[in-house]
Structures are given as C-alpha cells and as structure tokens.
Structure 1
C-alpha cells in the first residue's frame, strides 16, 4: 500500500462512536497467549495503523465516490454574468418608483425579447421594458426583473402595479461560485453535485485518493462452492461472495482469491498473492481449533500482527496485521462474524485509506422493541431493523431474527443497523433506549410531506 502524506483529521461530519468504541479492561488471555483487546482499543489500533493512499489523476466522470486530493479553484464566475431568475420583464427600478394598483406605471414594450444564450446587444432605456426569459443575460440599463404574472401587457405597453427593488429577480455574476474561490475543498467526497461543480470549473480530470484494491480469501477444507454436492460436515462458501458484494457496493476494486485448504503451502501461496493488494481479508482459520493455524502462516508471510482477538460478539477471534505495502484482516469463518467484523473494523480502515473524513457508521439512539437477556463480558452487536413508532414516530429496533447466532447468515438479511450492547450490561428491555450503528438507510414506505 502506497500511503500518501498521513492525515489525522477529526471526523467532522459524524460521531466517531463514543459507545461503539467503548469497552473496559481486557479479561484473561485468548488463544496463543494473546490478550483479546477491548473494542475501543481494537478499533483505534486499526484506524491509527492506516493512512490515505497516494493521489492519482482520473477522468472526471470516473471519480464518483472517490475523495478529492486537491483544492479546485474556480477559473471564472458562475454564472459568468448577471442573468434573469424569472420569465418576465426587464425594467429600470426607477421607472416603477411609487407604482401601485391605484397609480400604475406603464412602460413602452420594445419588440425584441431577450432569450437565454449569447447576449444580444440590447439595452433598456428610460420608460421602456423588454420581455426576458429565465437565464437570459441582463441588458444594459436594467436593474430589476418583474415576473410575467405581476405585469399586464396592453398592446405596445406593459402595466405595472408595484415597485421593483434594484437587483430583484437578478442572479449576480459569481452568485454560485466566485472566480478565484475554492469551489471544491481537498477531502470532498465526490458525489453527483461535486462532479457537476467540477464541470463548472472546466475540469476534465481530477486528482483523487486512489481506491484501494482488496483481496478476499476464504479458508477451510470444509468449504465448497455454490454448485458442489453437499454432505454432512461441509459448508458453502458464502463469505467471499458476501464480502466481495459489500466491497463492490462501496466502490472498491476486488480480487477473489477463492478458497485455500487447511494446508500451509496452499495458505501461504494464496496469502502471498493477496499481499499484492492494498488490503487482504481472510475468513476462517483464526480460532482455537487444531487446524486453525492461519496466524502462524501470516507470520511466515511477513505479516506483523497488531492484535489477535477482540472482546466483541460476534467476532472475537478477529486478527489484524500489517505487511510492507498494506494491511490484513483475519475474520472468523462464521458468516455473521465475518460481516460484523467487516462493518466494525474493515470498513473504517478502508474509508480512511480512501481518504474519507467520516470513518464510522452513523449512530442513532432508538428504543428497543424486544427483551434480550445475555451474558456479560463482551461488547455485543445484534442485527436489527428499524421501524417508526405508531405512538410518537420515534425509531424502534426489532430483531431481524430471534436466532442471533454467529452462524445464522439469514439474520443479516434486511439488517439496517447493529444494536450495540455494552460489555457489562446483563439484558436489554423492551422500551429502553439503545444505541444503533446504521449500516443501511432504513428508508420509508410513504411520503408524508405536504
């Protein structure tokens, strides 16, 4: 991974997760004599270990979703000159001074209308007016526009029954963007509107933070493909397709390394290939089983482990490490653990690597719609949907499924948020306030605005 200048900017557009990054002291030791980290420490370790990639120049129309790596200075005013904000009549405000219903003013209507486009050499003299269209250049002598519905055409004259203030319904030159100003700041996420502003600034190419390349590897002798015959003891490889789909959803380039068997040579060969990318994600092989020796293979490949184990449920065995040009995440093999690990650890890292300012999921306080007893000791995340309360319209969290085990992939279907439970909390009671990390926009089923 080719990091550009390291930037430690505060997250200025969303809460950097006061509770999400919470957690107490670590209890006991995990496998391999490594202490599981509290959630806050693990997330901080990940984020502090990565930096934005170097800038690259890309065609403007390929930059959507990327982060701008330079300020864009406006080369000209937008709009370039004064123009009309309404269809109406170009006037001199002094001609309509004291105009009223009881004492209207009539101005001579000049024959040529002023339309949008190249400015004709037209002027407005005292006591005259011209038709003008929205976007048309303001003619010489005009300092106001009267909307067409506020005037009455009487053959060769136009009657006005109200005064017009200087500048009324006129868009000033540079009213949108002033020449020489910063039209787009470095660090801007390039959304559709930003692409449009780049056009206004005459830019056909943009300097952006390079998108990371992410390799995904599933491990395990028990893993089979979608069309292979099933038998007892086997599992289908849902992890790689699900993670790759999530990565592509967010615009990242992906490399599918397939499945590595529980054999050192195969694991090392595929991990080495994965280290050609900026980020390597593996699933499986990081727990306490006799054949879960992925950590040792990581070390053999030259990966320096930063932690192995986090006090979180699901996903306790997660591993994070660094290699010369990138980072690796060893996610657990259970599919819910893998997807939760992606949202909590991988996604913030990828966002920082990509140059984003906001790294963490947006958090909202909602009310629980269910009771949930639990064992204490670890931070826990439940998959929930959000609905509006019929009583007061506030958000209420409902479990996507009563089965919340780390193996129940279907519990992630339709999940809009991860409901956070503090390590020492013994239960969630229906009606109490809880913190949720949004992973999807819950949307709405109706349009209630008038």
Structure 2
C-alpha cells in the first residue's frame, strides 16, 4: 500500500511532480500586458540597437586624424535631429548625448575638453583615448536577428523595455493557468460565516491562492468542504476544467483524512504520497487526465512550505519557465541552529541582509512566524547543531 511506502526525498518528489506538468497552449499577448509571463518562444531582435553610431556624451564630432585641431564648427547633431551632411577635414559638429554621429566623424571630443569661439573649436583638455571611446557603435546592444531572450525567460520590467526596443509589440506566452484551491475540514469556517468556538477561519485556501497569484493564474476557491467523501467528490467534479487542483488538509492517514479515499472512489490513484521533509510530510500527487491534483497538508506552515516547494514549481513548469525550482542561497546564521531530526527541515526565519535569524516558534500550526519570515532555512536530516555565523542553505520566500 502507498501508506507503507517510505517518504520520497525532496528532489525525487519534485522531479516526479514536474514530470506531470500539464501542457498549456500558447497565445500572443501585448508586451505591456505580459508582465510575469514566461516567453514560449525565443525572442529575436527585429532591428539594430542602436540603428546608427551614437554619441555617448555631449561634445563635438570630428575626424580623429585632425587632432590636435583646430576645427571649424559646421552644424549640430541633436537626439532626434541628425546632422544632414558629413564631416570633412578640419570640420566638427556639435553633438549631444544620444545623437547620431555624423558621417565622416569617428571621434567625440568632450565639451569640457574643448573651447569654442564663434565657429572655431580648439582642444582645451585631453583627447579621448581610445579616440572612439565616447561612441556607441551600431548594434552595440543587439543586432537584427540576434536572439535576445530564450524561451522560458520571465517577462519583467527590463524585459518589457528590451522587447519593445527590439521591435516587438506582442510576445508568445502560455495562457493563464486555471487553478482551483479546495479547503477541506469540519473544523473550518468560511469567510463571513458565524464560527463556533471549536472552529477556525479557513485561511489556507486564501494563503495558497495568494501564493499562486505570483504567477499568471486564474484561481477559483472551493470550500471549506466538510469531511465527507461525497462532498469531496463533488468538489473535485466542480473543478473539472482546472489545470491544477490544490487541496489543503485531509491528505494524511487519519480517520478524517479523506482526500485519498475520495480519489480512490473516483478511480484515481496517487502517483506518490509522503515526502521526507518537515513540515509537509503528508503530500499527495495524482493526475486526472492532463489535470494535476496536489494534496497539501492542513497545518498552515506545512501548507505554505509545500506550496513554495511544490505548487509554485509545478505552475512555473506548466507556464514554460526555464527555472522552475526555487534557488537556494548560502547566508550566515545570526542565531545558533539546534541539532536536526530524521527529516530535512525548513525552518522559518528572517534574513536582514547580514544574517538569518530563526524564529523561536517553529510549530507547523503557527502562522505568526510564517508571516514574520522571509526565508526558509534548510536543516538537513540528522544535522549537527551549528553555531551562529555558520553559512546555511536558505530559500528567500519573497522571491519568485
């Protein structure tokens, strides 16, 4: 039985999940409406940038062979208003930053290194070395046909500017993912309902929906769903059009943990169940056609940690991201870390730019340390106690 299978190591469980990522169709979106999406195709430049040699400074354009001058000033080249003629021997053109370098010119003499009187220009400082130092050559940034971004690159503010500069108004991306989040448990009370003393607000569903909202998704919430197999089956059936279903609670083996029995009644067997991490051991992965079902634990810290380590990577993979797993960094401990247990642990902590401080409360049912934290500190299984100042592996949760 699956319940008796040993928990999978984290990397193996992530690989098994990512292999199930659904294939999502490609659409073309206005680049200004594609923030946060991932390129579905490599992006090639449709023009040179710059399209002609430009001045990087204010000064004068001339021939380097005419040094040390003097020169006769014959006109001006301003940004958006290039000089119409060419520069001949002994001639110079006033030029501003970003303006097109006139034909015949191959040097920019800085304004502060020159002295101009009427139409005569003299060297009054140091000539550029090398002489082309202040010139931005044609296609310095990119040339027409150059692949400027690979498929899978996430579109951010700088990417938006680059795509537009390269001649693209629209880009190919995967359509928004449809994600359904199901909260389950008799102890949960939905927003706006009257709670009995023995109930708690259903906070995991909104938390997981907020986590998924970092990415291009359309999220639907169902629940809280009572601890009845028929109610859970109805919830799953209501989410037939979702690309991903993520549940919170009911994924363990207690008498009231009914996610697996409900799926079994629907003829769905988990791909795997249980991962060797803490918090987050009872984690279930299943598939219904192309739809992926991700069953997360009910304890809030466990739901968040597994959402960070499994839900977000799954969504990134389906959306075509190049990097799907969170990237670890090494940072020093600001506080000591006690000896580890039998599973890899993810401790909530705060990274302040110099060190990471572990929260004193690490219970998987506690939300306050999770809200305070901006880092998950990895404590390997069976790790010895380590003193403050020791570099440790950390995942910064504020990053995507």
- The reply to whether TM is greater than 0.5 is yes
- Residue in structure 2 matched with residue 152 of structure 1 by the alignment: 115
Quote the Cα distance in structure 2 between the aligned partners of 1:84 and 1:293.
Answer: 69
For the 8 Å contact 1:272–1:301, the answer to whether it is kept is: no
For the 8 Å contact 1:216–1:274, the answer to whether it is kept is: no
Quote the Cα distance in structure 2 between the aligned partners of 1:140 and 1:434.
Answer: 58
Structure 1's 366 and 149: CA in aligned 2 closer, same or farther, altered over 3 A? Answer: same
Quote the Cα distance in structure 2 between the aligned partners of 1:414 and 1:251.
Answer: 26
Aligned residue for 2:213, secondary structure, equals helix
1:435 equivalent in alignment to 2:393: yes
- Residue in structure 2 matched with residue 406 of structure 1 by the alignment: 364
The number of aligned residues is 397
Q: How does 1:41-56 map to 2 (within 5 A)?
A: 41-50=12-21, 53-56=24-27
Quote the Cα distance in structure 2 between the aligned partners of 1:142 and 1:292.
Answer: 78
1:172, CA displacement in angstroms? 1.6
Quick one: which of 139, 162, 171 aligns to 2:102? 139
- Residue in structure 2 matched with residue 17 of structure 1 by the alignment: none
Structure 1's 117 and 287: CA in aligned 2 closer, same or farther, altered over 3 A? Answer: same
For the 8 Å contact 1:302–1:323, the answer to whether it is kept is: no
- Residue in structure 2 matched with residue 232 of structure 1 by the alignment: 197
Quote the Cα distance in structure 2 between the aligned partners of 1:176 and 1:373.
Answer: 51
- Residue in structure 2 matched with residue 126 of structure 1 by the alignment: 89
Aligned residue for 1:304, secondary structure, equals coil
Quote the Cα distance in structure 1 between the aligned partners of 2:365 and 2:41.
Answer: 44
Q: C-alpha deviations, 1:283-309, integer Å up to 9, x for none? A: 011122212111111233343311111
For the 8 Å contact 2:63–2:89, the answer to whether it is kept is: yes
- Residue in structure 2 matched with residue 280 of structure 1 by the alignment: 245
Structure 1 moving runs of 4+ over 6 Å? none
- Residue in structure 2 matched with residue 26 of structure 1 by the alignment: none
Unaligned runs of 5+ in 2: none
1:106 equivalent in alignment to 2:79: no
| Structure 1 range deviating more: 333-342 or 196-205 | 196-205
Aligned residue for 1:117, secondary structure, equals coil
Structure 1's 149 and 371: CA in aligned 2 closer, same or farther, altered over 3 A? Answer: closer
Structure 1's 137 and 397: CA in aligned 2 closer, same or farther, altered over 3 A? Answer: closer
Structure 1's 319 and 117: CA in aligned 2 closer, same or farther, altered over 3 A? Answer: same
TM-score in terms of structure 1 length: 0.82
1:422, CA displacement in angstroms? 1.7
Q: C-alpha deviations, 1:64-103, integer Å up to 9, x for none? A: 221112222222221111222221112111111xx2xxxx
- Residue in structure 2 matched with residue 397 of structure 1 by the alignment: 356
Quick one: which of 134, 146, 150 aligns to 1:185? 150
Alpha-carbon RMSD: 2.2
Structure 1's 136 and 435: CA in aligned 2 closer, same or farther, altered over 3 A? Answer: closer
Quick one: which of 72, 76, 81 aligns to 2:43? 72
Quote the Cα distance in structure 2 between the aligned partners of 1:317 and 1:34.
Answer: 12
1:250, CA displacement in angstroms? 3.2
Aligned residue for 1:241, secondary structure, equals helix
1:119, CA displacement in angstroms? 3.2
Quote the Cα distance in structure 1 between the aligned partners of 2:27 and 2:106.
Answer: 46
Aligned residue for 1:305, secondary structure, equals coil
1:310 equivalent in alignment to 2:275: yes
